[in-house]
Amino acid sequence: MKIALAQINCHIGNFNANKGLIIKHIEHSRASGTDLIVFPELAVCGYPPMDLLESADFVTNCTDAIREIATHCIGITAVVGSPSKNPSPKGKNLFNSAYVLADGEIKSVFHKTLLPTYDVFDEYRYFEPNTEFKTIELNGKRVAITICEDLWNEEDDPMYTFSPLEKTGEGKIDLVINIAASPFDFNHREKRISILQRNAVKFKSPIVYVNHAGAQNDLVFDGGSMVIDANGEVLFEASYFNDGLFQASITSNIVSAKSTALSKEERIRQALVCGIRDYFRKCGFTDAVLGLSGGVDSALVAVLAAEALGASHVHPVLMPSEFSSEHSVQDALDLCKLNGLTSRTIPINNVYDTFLNELTPAFEGKPFDIAEENVQSRTRGTILMALSNKHRYVLLNTSNKSELAVGYGTLYGDMAGGISVIGDLYKTEVYALCDHLNSTQMRIPKNILTKAPSAELRPGQKDSDSLPDYDLLDRILFHHIEGKSGSSSLIEMGFDAAVVSKVLSLVNRSEYKRFQFAPIIRVSTKAFGTGRRFPLVASYS
């Protein structure tokens, strides 16, 4: 059986674009003699559609698109993901479904059984789980059609009480098709392959797996569609972070075409570039603005944005104050020169002084403290947002995950932005990614990477004045956020009790800041945002 894997980049709610792309790939594949073409989960409407699924018109558009796509399936069979209506008056109104289209019509519909409702997933909010287990015959083969999570109960710690394939596979299954919307994190590829291999070996069946490519909201879908044989060997692995049409044949002598595993830093680089590019393209924007301080965070964001959008579409702004060091200004200018960026300089001294003059009576003679520091940050935020409004730029936020975790940032100041580029990278990961970028070509001046991090909001300020060294801080944060370890567990790991108490207190007290923060491009297993939900007013520590 000649199969096409359509690893496409959908656009949520853009039915004309999604439908046109699907039909184009169907017609191209039919012309090349393909028997079966497989598209990702919810390909018709894009993933995740979220509360758009509560709109009757939205669901009708999905159904109409599927019917039109079916008319193009003459001489070829297609498996296409789309919501479908639940005919029963009981349960949720929709299923998450895979449509089998052939001979110009809908031949069969398969529903998703295991509905993920954890981290960034919230599918049980919308969908009814499948209770009917069946197969379909294609080209003389008995084929099981599954949807993403339906294969993910083969982990060492199963989340669900049964495996859908166990109920489906009474008798021999010749082929398993899995259509997916599997988001990227930097170690997800290996876990994904392992899950698919376990299923292939357990059910003694080859697996065709097709994933989305491209970014939606804060999620990046990395592609990596693949074919695995009944022995668990990866026979074909599509490219990552690229959409496209890939051909494979389910025969005994399939040609192996595996992807090379990328380093953690390279995976993150590609994911962030993809996240920036698609956020702008799908929201209808072309240009970005950001504050360039001469520090490592804004430097990295500027470089990634230039790669994603083109240097001429990235507009860095230098906003020095009386506390800005000469080397910081020069470092920012050097970075622009290395990356072909044209900067603008708007000193904040006069605006800042005006603020302080007006506020002096209200400050009632109290000494300089965080209030005056935050006025500087908010002055810069106001300037950047003014440029954003005037020129229709999107403001790129440059805060990192370490700062967001402990609240080391100013609401409506340096925490402003339309999209957070590195908000899922700890400070140590920021440095590692900068080193990776510089390994092939100098993109970030060496002085930016070697000087002590500082917000430069008061004379001689350093981040280490307020926080533990980032190497220590990030290890505690990783075990607490990704590892879900509390204070007792962290102390048992060998971390100092006083440091743990301080760090966790900062994390808990800063939830209200993160609640108001920009969407963060997700690259880890636990990013701030939709995948991590904590109350704002809790007193538990």
Number of H helices, E strands in the chain: 16, 19
Task: Give, for all 541 residues of the chain, the pLDDT tens digit.
Answer: 899 999 999 999 999 999 999 999 999 999 999 999 999 999 999 999 999 999 999 999 999 999 999 999 999 999 999 999 999 999 999 999 999 999 999 999 999 999 999 999 999 999 999 999 999 999 999 999 999 999 998 877 788 988 999 888 666 899 999 999 999 999 999 999 999 999 999 999 999 999 999 999 999 999 999 999 999 999 999 999 999 999 887 664 444 556 667 899 999 999 999 999 999 999 999 999 999 999 999 999 999 999 999 999 999 999 998 887 778 899 999 999 999 999 999 999 999 999 999 999 999 999 999 999 999 999 999 999 999 999 999 999 999 999 999 999 999 999 999 999 999 999 999 999 999 999 999 999 999 999 988 876 777 778 878 899 999 999 999 999 999 999 999 999 999 999 999 999 999 999 999 999 999 999 999 999 999 999 988 887 6
Which stretch of DSSP H or E encloses residue 102? strand 94-102
Which stretch of DSSP H or E encloses residue 175? strand 175-179
CA atoms within 13 A on the CB side of 330: 5
Name, in order, each residue with C-beta under 8 angstroms of 34's C-beta and a sequence gap of 6 or more: 2, 3, 4, 76, 247
| DSSP state, residue 464 | G
497 within 8 A of 491, measured Cβ to Cβ: yes
Instruction: Report the SS3 class of residue 42.
Output: coil
Strands 2-7 and 244-249: antiparallel
184 within 8 A of 524, measured Cβ to Cβ: no
- DSSP letter for each residue of 499-531: HHHHHHHHHHHTHHHHHTSPPB---SSS-SBTT
CA 357 to chain centre: 44
pLDDT at 253: 44
- For the beta carbon of residue 393, count every other beta carbon within 10 angstroms: 22
Identify the active-site residue in 41, 123, 128, 373.
41
CA atoms within 13 A on the CB side of 94: 26
- Alpha-carbon distance 253 to 235, whole Å? 10
pLDDT at 426: 98
**204 given a catalytic annotation:** no
- Alpha-carbon distance 378 to 357, whole Å? 16
Q: Token pair of 492, please?
A: 């048992």
Backbone angles phi, psi at 493, to 5 degrees: -70, -15
CA atoms within 13 A on the CB side of 278: 24
Ramachandran sector of residue 128 (left: φ over 0; alpha: ψ -120 to 50; beta: rest)? beta
What's the alpha-carbon Rg for the chain, to the nearest Å?
A: 26
112 within 8 A of 150, measured Cβ to Cβ: yes
- With 0-12 / 13-18 / 19 or more C-beta atoms within 10 angstroms meaning exposed / middle / buried, residue 338 is middle
Q: What is the 3-state secondary structure (H, E, C) of 391-438?
A: HCCEEEECCCHHHHHHCCCCCCCCCCCCEECCCCCCHHHHHHHHHHHH
Which of 391, 400, 393 shows the shortest CA–CA distance to 420? 400
Instruction: Write down the H helix ranges in 228-369.
Output: 264-283, 296-309, 326-339, 349-363
Direct distance between the N- and C-terminal alpha carbons of the chain, in angstroms, rounded to an integer: 57
**148 given a catalytic annotation:** yes
Identify the active-site residue in 10, 45, 62, 148.
148
- Alpha-carbon distance 136 to 183, whole Å? 28
CA–CA distances in Å: residue 9 to residues 202, 260, 421, 541:
31, 22, 20, 42
Identify the active-site residue in 19, 62, 73, 112.
112
Q: Token pair of 323, please?
A: 């506390």
Which of 534, 463, 532, 474 shows the shortest CA–CA distance to 503? 474
pLDDT at 157: 73
**233 given a catalytic annotation:** no
Report cis status (omega within 30 of 0) of the bond before 445.
Answer: no
Q: Token pair of 259, please?
A: 């992807």
496 within 8 A of 490, measured Cβ to Cβ: no
Residue whose entry in the numeric block shows the structure tokens 């399936």: 73
Ramachandran sector of residue 528 (left: φ over 0; alpha: ψ -120 to 50; beta: rest)? beta
